[in-house]
Amino acid sequence: MANIILNPDWQLKESACTTQAAYKNRRIFLKSLGLGTMALATGGFRCSNNAHSASSGELDPDGPLDTIPDDAPRDGYPAARNPDFTVPERPVTDRLVSSSYNNFYEFINQGNLKRVWPHTGAFQAFPWTLEVRGQVERKQTWDLSDLIRSMDLEERIYRFRCVEAWSITVPWTGFPLSKLIERCKPLTRATHVQFTCINRPNQLPGQATAHWYPWPYFEGLRMDEAMNELAFVAVGMYGEPLPKQNGSPLRLVLPWKYGYKGPKAIVRIEFTRKQPKTFWNELQPQEYGFLSNVNPNVPHPRWSQASERFLSRENVEERIPTQIFNGYDRWVSDLYPDEPRTPAGPIIR
């Protein structure tokens, strides 16, 4: 690990958004595990306390949207909005902000992490195939453009909450994950589903250089979570196909969970008989659990989750309280009888 360059502003930002006592405790805790350098070097998340444009650079009016692949299918756009999924209490985030302030470690995982789009040039999102494997009636491999054209696309506006305590509101275009799962024909003995993402170091500069990550990115859900009405496969946003930095050609959106549970650029869906491993849990199990539901009562070990920075436009952000399940309680609360409803530990505000 000696040749790994640590992001020099890491400690400043981490300490800036955490009480000093909590920050010191974490250093002691990591030291006791012998994890100090390792956890920092793997570039785990950090609570981002800065104005979003300050860390992403000035917003370029063209660049972030020029990354929408020319060959993405556009049939069915703009899709009709589903009136059951809107966010009346917040403005929709400006699309330039949603496409300029990202997390996509395959493209960049050191330095100015949020400025992803300039690193996407070599990535070819189409043609794309999606494999279905594991506990299914029959293994299948689909051409994604054909699959998208065969689905009824709809638009849903969802709140989106990152574990780093920033949030946005996004109109996604896509279809319910349950519709895709029905086509996969899983066997009744499948209890979970794992999603595996792209593995192409020749097109992904972050994947090519950061060998300490367990590429490719992988995530998982219980079957009842995956079949929930909210679980959505996004192939577009803001009435157009997804830009590369937002997960082209397809990604999951699970609005009641932290953003890292939504894998981008998925190549394989595998149905399993036990809980699958997940990328961030493998790297930092003490910080990232399997469920990872948005919950203001459960602080991250390094920062509070009680509130979030809502990003609406460049340089415009508001500190707002975080809601349990990100405000989607009525859809998902039955799935999680054990989710803490009162503060589960000292909350750092």
Positions that interact with ligand MTE (CB under 6 A): 102-106, 162, 197, 217, 246-247, 259-260, 262-265
Task: Give the shortest CB-337-to-ligand MTE separation in angstroms.
Answer: 27
8 A C-beta contact, residue 168 and residue 97:
yes
> In angstroms, rounded to a whole number, what is the distance separating the alpha carbons of residues 266 and 197?
4
Task: Give the shortest CB-17-to-ligand MTE separation in angstroms.
Answer: 16
> In angstroms, rounded to a whole number, what is the distance separating the alpha carbons of residues 40 and 337?
34
**Toward ligand MTE, which CB reaches closer, 106 or 317?**
106
8 A C-beta contact, residue 164 and residue 46:
yes
**Toward ligand MTE, which CB reaches closer, 142 or 195?**
195
**Toward ligand MTE, which CB reaches closer, 255 or 262?**
262
**Toward ligand MTE, which CB reaches closer, 217 or 256?**
217
Task: Give the shortest CB-169-to-ligand MTE separation in angstroms.
Answer: 11
Neighbours of 151 (CB within 10 A): 17
**Toward ligand MTE, which CB reaches closer, 174 or 259?**
259
Q: Which residue number is nearest to ligand MTE in terms of Cβ?
A: 259
**Toward ligand MTE, which CB reaches closer, 228 or 246?**
246
Task: Give the shortest CB-106-to-ligand MTE separation in angstroms.
Answer: 5
Task: Give the shortest CB-138-to-ligand MTE separation in angstroms.
Answer: 27
Task: Give the shortest CB-278-to-ligand MTE separation in angstroms.
Answer: 11
